[in-house]
């Protein structure tokens, strides 16, 4: 089955059809609680990621904590 | 007396209902190791440290810095103040602030919206727009702004509880480039918490800001990039304390001509 093309942190990315945001985060090998996520500019809270189905052309942002000034 | 950024117990800084004894806010970027950062935070006596966010695909491992900071947070010794560094528009900054609130579990945000790549000067229009949206969304906004009085007033109008005017461009180490504008801000906004943010290079710059009556200082590079960040953090703590003491004590006015300090009268004594 053809993958769904999305944009992840500004770069093209393919996910299996029917993927959720939670599954995408799990595929990144990053602890889910260590990132914040947004889809198409809107925050998706950690407890909502499993309910967030990814569609073609969705723009997903995944941010993690870093040091800063 | 041990040098410290805390002056005395009743001279506290109130932010968002939180009573702070330290007037030294410290950035966490650019330290050689988490251990050095931890020691610098202790030497500074700081109670607020700034942190950031970065896209996961672009971020390298943090080598334990964030874990160390979160441990300190659990100790109750430091509060995290996430920033929106890297944002160029109100839309980006608002989005990143919401992500920061999710990630760091705080409604405090240091709002940065840059309008010029060369100077990293804040964009006043986007900044006010973002601050307005974030205050309405329940954030306590710490806006990084210029020393422009009218922009500062607009930020207060939309609900920012304090202002963080720059001393000089970020990382420049130039100190207070426009003391006149900063004195004007202090004079025209006497009841507003004003924190000098950015451009501080030496402890004397921080002391100067405190002598002028600013409420606190936020800096990063001057400590992180020092040959010995821990000792430098202590030096800044001493300078901030000295400047605060001097402000309370009252610095004498500058005179154009000599004013004799020894009371010998008008003529020399010849015996």
Nearest residue of A to residue B111, measured between CA atoms: A69
- Cα–Cα distance for residue pair B20/B15, rounded to 1 Å: 8
Are residues A13 and A35 in contact, defined by beta-carbon separation less than 8 angstroms?
no
User: Tokens at residue A41, please?
Assistant: 């500019």
Interchain pair B56, A30: CB under 8 A: yes
What does DSSP say about strands A35-39 and A59-67: parallel, antiparallel, or unpaired? antiparallel
For position B2, what pLDDT does the model report?
A: 44
Q: What is the pLDDT of residue B186?
A: 97
- The answer to whether residue A12 neighbours chain B at the CB level (below 8 Å) is no
Question: What distance in Å separates the CA atoms of residue B39 and residue B155, rounded to the nearest whole number?
Answer: 35
Q: Residues B102-128: what's their mean pLDDT?
A: 96
Question: Is B101 a residue whose pLDDT tops 60?
Answer: yes
What is the pLDDT at residue B68?
86
B122 touches chain A (CB under 8 A): no
Cβ contact B56–A9 (<8 Å): yes
Contact yes or no for B75/B85 (Cβ under 8 A) = no
Rounded mean pLDDT, A36-51: 95
Q: What is the pLDDT of residue B263?
A: 83
Confidence tier at B9 by pLDDT (50, 70, 90): low
Task: Kindly state the average pLDDT of the residues A21-34.
Answer: 91
Active site residues of B: 110
pLDDT surpasses 60 at B248: yes
Cβ atoms of B62 and A35 within 8 Å: the answer is no
Question: Does residue A66 sit at the B interface (CB-CB below 8 Å)?
Answer: yes
Cross-chain residue pair B53–A28, CB shorter than 8 Å:
no
For residue B77, the model assigns a pLDDT of 73
- Minimum-distance CB partner of B50 among A11, A34, A69: A69
Give mean pLDDT, residues B222-226.
97
Q: Residue B105 carries which DSSP code?
A: -
CB-CB under 8 Å, A45 with B51: no
Collapsing DSSP to helix, strand or coil, B65 comes out as helix
Q: Cα separation of B11 and B213, whole Å?
A: 13
Q: B56, A28 in Cβ contact below 8 A?
A: yes
In 3D, which of A69, A8, A66, A3 has the Cα closest to residue A37? A8
Domain residue limits, chain A: 4-64
pLDDT at residue B1 in the model: 41
Q: What is the average pLDDT across A49-55?
A: 97
Question: B-chain residues within 8 Å CB-CB of A10?
Answer: 55
pLDDT tens-digit series, residues B38-96: 999 999 999 999 999 998 766 666 778 888 888 877 777 789 999 999 999 999 999 99
Is the Cβ–Cβ distance between B103 and B134 less than 8 Å? no
CA separation for the pair A67, B53 (Å, rounded): 8
Q: How far apart are CA B154 and CA B161, in angstroms?
A: 12
DSSP secondary structure code for residue B23 in this structure: -
pTM: 0.90
Q: Is B65 on the interface with A (CB under 8 A)?
A: yes
Coil, helix or strand at residue A25: helix
d(CA A38, CA B99): 8
Q: Which of B239, B247, B256, B244 is nearest to B175 (CA)?
A: B239
Indicate yes or no: CB of A36 within 8 angstroms of CB of B37. Answer: no
For A4-64, the fitting CATH number among 1.20.1730.10, 3.10.20.30, 3.40.640.10, 3.40.50.1370 is: 3.10.20.30
Per-residue pLDDT tens over the stretch B255-266: 999 988 888 766
Say yes or no: A1 contacts chain B, CB-CB below 8 A. Answer: no
% residues pLDDT > 90 (chain B): 82
ipTM value: 0.89
Report how far residue B209's alpha carbon sits from residue B242's, in angstroms, rounded to the nearest whole number. 11
**pLDDT computed for residue B8 by the predictor:** 59
Q: What is the mean pLDDT of residues B108-124?
A: 97
Q: Is the pLDDT of residue B200 over 90?
A: yes
CA distance, residue B246 to nearest chain A CA (Å): 27
Helix (H) or strand (E) holding B95: helix B90-104
């Amino acid at each position: 089955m053809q993958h769904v093309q999305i944009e992840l942190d500004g770069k093209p990315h393919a996910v299996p059809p029917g993927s959720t945001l939670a599954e995408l985060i799990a595929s990144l090998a990053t602890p889910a609680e260590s990132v914040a996520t947004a889809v198409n500019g809107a925050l998706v809270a950690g407890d909502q990621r499993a309910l967030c189905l990814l569609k073609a052309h969705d723009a997903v942002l995944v941010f993690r904590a870093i040091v800063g000034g | 007396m041990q040098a410290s950024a805390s002056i005395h117990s009743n001279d506290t800084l109130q932010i968002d209902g939180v009573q702070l004894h330290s007037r030294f806010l410290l950035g966490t970027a650019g330290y050689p190791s988490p251990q050095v950062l931890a020691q610098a935070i202790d030497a500074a006596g700081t109670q607020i440290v700034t942190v950031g966010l970065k896209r996961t695909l672009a971020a390298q491992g943090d080598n334990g810095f964030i874990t160390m900071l979160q441990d300190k947070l659990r100790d109750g010794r430091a509060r995290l103040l996430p920033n929106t560094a890297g944002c160029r528009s109100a839309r980006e900054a608002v989005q990143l602030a919401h992500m920061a609130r999710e990630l760091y579990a705080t409604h405090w945000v240091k709002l940065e919206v840059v309008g010029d790549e060369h100077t990293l000067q804040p964009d006043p229009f986007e900044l006010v727009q973002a601050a307005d949206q974030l205050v309405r969304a329940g954030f306590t906004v710490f806006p990084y702004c210029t020393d422009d009085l009218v922009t500062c007033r607009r930020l207060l109008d939309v609900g920012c509880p304090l202002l963080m005017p720059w001393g000089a461009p970020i990382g420049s180490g130039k100190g207070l480039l426009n003391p006149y504008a900063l004195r004007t801000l202090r004079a025209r906004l006497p009841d507003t918490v004003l924190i000098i943010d950015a451009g501080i290079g030496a402890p004397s710059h921080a002391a100067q800001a405190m002598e002028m009556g600013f409420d606190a200082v936020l800096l990063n590079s001057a400590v992180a990039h020092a040959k010995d960040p821990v000792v430098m953090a202590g030096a800044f703590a001493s300078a901030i304390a000295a400047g605060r003491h001097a402000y309370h004590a009252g610095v004498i006015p500058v005179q154009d001509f000599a004013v004799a300090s020894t009371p010998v009268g008008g003529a020399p004594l010849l015996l």
